[in-house]
Amino acid sequence: MSLKSTAMNITAPVIPAHWQIRAVHRFLKIKNTLFKGPYVPTFVESPLPEVDTLAIEDIDVSSPFLFRQKKWQSYFKRLRDECPVHYQKNSPFGPFWSITRYDDIVFVDKHHDLFSAEPIITLGRTPEGLEIETFIAMDPPKHDEQRKAVQNVVAPKNLKEMEGLIRQRTREVLDELPVGQPFDWVKTVSIELTARMLATLLDFPYELRHKLVYWSDVSTASPETTGGRVDSDEIFAAAADAGKHFVKLWHDKAAQRAAGQEAGFDLISLMQANEETKDMVKRPMEFMGNLTLLIVGGNDTTRNSMTGGVLALNQFPDEFTKLKENPALIPNMVSEIIRWQTPLAYMRRIAKQDVELNGKTIKKGDKVVMWYASGNRDERNIDQPDTFMIDRKGARNHLSFGFGVHRCMGNRLAELQLRILWEELLQRFDDIEVLSEPECVQSNFVRGYSKMMVQLTAKK
Amino acid sequence: MASVTIIEFGGTEHEVEIEAGKSLMQIAVDNSIPGIDADCGGACACGTCHVIVSSEWFAKTGSTSDEEDMMLGMTPERADTSRLACQIEASEALDGLVVQLPEFQM
């Protein structure tokens, strides 16, 4: 634990978290004015070269424009075919290894003894001063304790209780949609549905739910972390606002319980009921880390699969016909959407010792990036990987949730949300036509859409 | 024929033929038994082929490795005789084996 984090834990009972975050921000601003702060890359978009014009060692898949410019498939195919374990020594995020084939990714993901998830799972670092502690970026055994304390919020048993509520909220959104006129699917459906879900999971004030989306979007979008566009002033302001609201939520929940109200199935209530996490509010960086993980985990991912599914069915219209003829394919299609979209491009590790992999020696301390987006298109393991097939055999065997101890704990919730969405869509609409190319976010981590105009045709 | 019995959470029983050398997970998948997802395809890396072995058979299914133990540790429905079906190698010696499926795979 860092010195700053320890200091924040000691002062947490007397100084509110959002004041602490603001104080750190002010301190760093002064410090970085007086002394040179850590390097923060800037990204200005220009067309990326065609991959076949590059020497293999010059291929840099850390560009935040690779997905937006539709170059990711050709770049990763070349790496998979010619140099599946690839070293890029000069990226804006420092040197790193790319693991691009399915089997090698499973190897790295499984071997938490060889590859550490600490201190963070993105290609770049977190902004200075916001080094939150979250179990996705912890190794066993601490990871296991913390995950167990919170995973029940998205465990299947809890989801069974929540299915009716998810369906009701999905229907509310879909019943309001305009038919026969253009609208933005991302804002109106994908963001709205995931925001409602997050507010439900946290029992967060419903009318403030868009704050959750904003905090989540900002937290993964700084240039030094993923090549995004949000500067550190905005991130600090968002973190302070989030800290204020989450700490209040914690104390409100504790007060409700003290007054004799039954504990709910929301995340905070579960944390307060667990021995390991019942005092977490006194450890602000850990508390904020766990909440951030939950809102990020439930936001960008499912949102972009909700958009990606519509896009995929437009690019492969025969599959849409197949789906309408046989809605029983929905569960299998949900897995295929999650593979095809791969909403998070990768997870990063650090080698804990020298490791031989596919003919290369990864040195102790080296950064290692498992490109799920590439592994999910690996011809060696997946038949016609660039084709979207809703009845694909073995559709569940995709990499998007990761494998091993860090496997996505919200996977069942994601599948449930997407299944319900498509069940309800098919009952209402004959077509969801994508009217123009979607706008993609700037990131090497989130493979997401910021806008996609569509038009609905009502079911006859 | 040598066979194993897989009992779904709801109580539905499936008697399936043992194919020696295959994993119990693969046999269940080949017979389309509902309730075994096998998301990682047998790499002991996802925990979605969780089965609960009847106690008299538990010792005969072999030992649980550290990595299997860790994956099982992630499921709230873990029982004393839990195993991952992909880590149980089928053989004639398992003729008569009975395993229960948990309510959920996760």
pLDDT tens digits, A37-72: 778 899 999 999 999 999 999 999 999 999 999 999
B106 occurs within a structural domain: no
CB contact under 8 A, B41 and A110: no
In this prediction, residue B33 carries a pLDDT of 95
Is B105 part of any domain? Answer: no
Beta bridge mates, A451: A439
Measured distance CA(A458)–CA(A429) in Å, rounded: 4
Residue B24 lies in a domain: yes
Which of A227, A220, A195 lies closest to A62 in space, CA to CA?
Answer: A227
- The long-range contacts involving A351-356, CB below 8 angstroms and separated by at least 24 positions, are A351/A114, A351/A115, A351/A116, A352/A113, A352/A114, A352/A115, A352/A116, A353/A114, A355/A114, A355/A115
Q: Do A151 and B103 touch (CB under 8 A)?
A: no
Q: Which domain holds residue B57?
A: 3-100
**Residue A62's closest CA among A105, A37, A95, A85?**
A95
Distance of alpha carbon A324 from alpha carbon A317, whole angstroms: 11
Q: Do A156 and B106 touch (CB under 8 A)?
A: yes
Residue in A186, A407, A441 with CA at minimum distance from that of residue A309? A186
Tokens of A139: 């190794």
Distance from CA of B46 to the nearest CA of A (A): 6
Write the burial class of residue A135 (CB in 10 Å: 0-12 exposed, 13-18 middle, 19+ buried).
Answer: buried
Q: What is the least distance, in Å, from the CA of A396 to any CA of chain B?
A: 5
Give residue A1's pLDDT band: very low, low, confident or very high (50, 70, 90).
very low
Q: How many helices (H) and strands (E) does chain A have?
A: 18, 12
Average pLDDT over residues A150-172: 87
- CA A446, CA A222: separation in Å to the nearest integer? 12
B102: chain A residues, CB-CB within 8 Å: none
* Chain length of chain B: 106
Which chain B residues contact residue A339 at CB under 8 A? none
Q: Is residue B22 part of a domain?
A: yes
**Side-chain-facing half-sphere of A81: CA atoms under 13 Å:** 9
Give the pLDDT of residue A320.
98
A397 with B71: Cβ contact below 8 A: no
For residue A409, give the chain B residue with the closest CA: B106
List, for residues A164-210, the tens digit of each pLDDT value. 989 999 999 999 999 999 999 999 999 999 999 899 889 999 999 99
Minimum Cα–Cα distance from A335: chain B residue: B39
CB contact residues (below 8 A), chain A span 103-122, against chain B: 106, 109-110
For residue range A253-290, list pLDDT tens digits in order: 999 999 999 888 788 988 888 887 888 899 888 888 88
CATH number assigned to the domain covering A3-458: 1.10.630.10
pLDDT higher at A447 or A154 = A447
Tally the domains of chain B.
1
Report the CATH number that the domain containing residue B83 is assigned in CATH. 3.10.20.30
Closest CA to B50 of B21, B16, B88, B17: B88
Q: Which residue of A has its CA nearest to B29?
A: A394
CB A25 within 8 A of CB A129: yes
Is A274 near chain B, with CB under 8 Å? no
At A298, list the tokens: 């439930």
Q: Does A214 lie at the interface with B, CB-CB under 8 angstroms?
A: no
Average pLDDT of chain A to the nearest whole number:
92
Task: Count contacts between A and B (CB, < 8 Å).
Answer: 56
3-state secondary structure of B7: strand
**Cα of A409 vs its chain's centroid, Å:** 12
CA-nearest of A104, A64, A66, A69 to A84 is: A104
Question: pLDDT for B1-43, tens place per residue?
Answer: 899 999 999 999 999 999 999 999 999 999 999 999 999 999 9
Which A residues in the span 394-413 are in contact with B, Cβ-Cβ below 8 Å? 394, 396-397, 401, 403-405, 407, 409, 411-412
Cα separations (Å) of A373 from A66, A344, B56?
12, 8, 44
| Interatomic CA distance for residues A370 and B58, integer angstroms | 36
> Is the previous residue joined to A119 through a cis bond, with omega within 30 degrees of 0?
yes
Instruction: Determine the pLDDT at residue B1.
Output: 83
B65-101 pLDDT, tens digit per residue, is 999 999 999 898 999 999 999 999 999 999 999 999 9
The owner of tokens 């019942």 is: A278
Cβ neighbors of A246 (< 8 A, separation 6 or more) are: A17, A287, A288, A291
A85-88 β-sheet, strand order: A85-88, A96-99, A367-371, A346-351, A115-116
E-assigned strands of A175-280? 183-184
The partner residue sitting opposite A403, judged by closest CB among B38, B46, B76, is: B46
Query: How confident is the model at residue A344, as a pLDDT?
Result: 97
Q: How far does Cα A49 stand from its chain's mean position?
A: 28
Q: In Å, what is the CA distance from A176 to each residue of A37, A170, A183, A210, A418?
A: 49, 10, 12, 18, 18
Residue A19 has pLDDT above 80, yes or no: no
Looking at the predicted complex, does its ipTM rise above 0.90? yes
pLDDT in tens, A307-322: 999 999 999 999 999 9
Alpha carbons B19 and A394: distance in angstroms, whole number: 21
Which are the contacts of A338, defined by CB distance < 8 A and separation ≥ 6? Answer: A305, A398, A400, A401, A414, A415, A418
Nearest to A307 by CA among A193, A458, A169: A193
pLDDT-wise least confident of A68-77, A125-134, A360-369, B61-70: A125-134
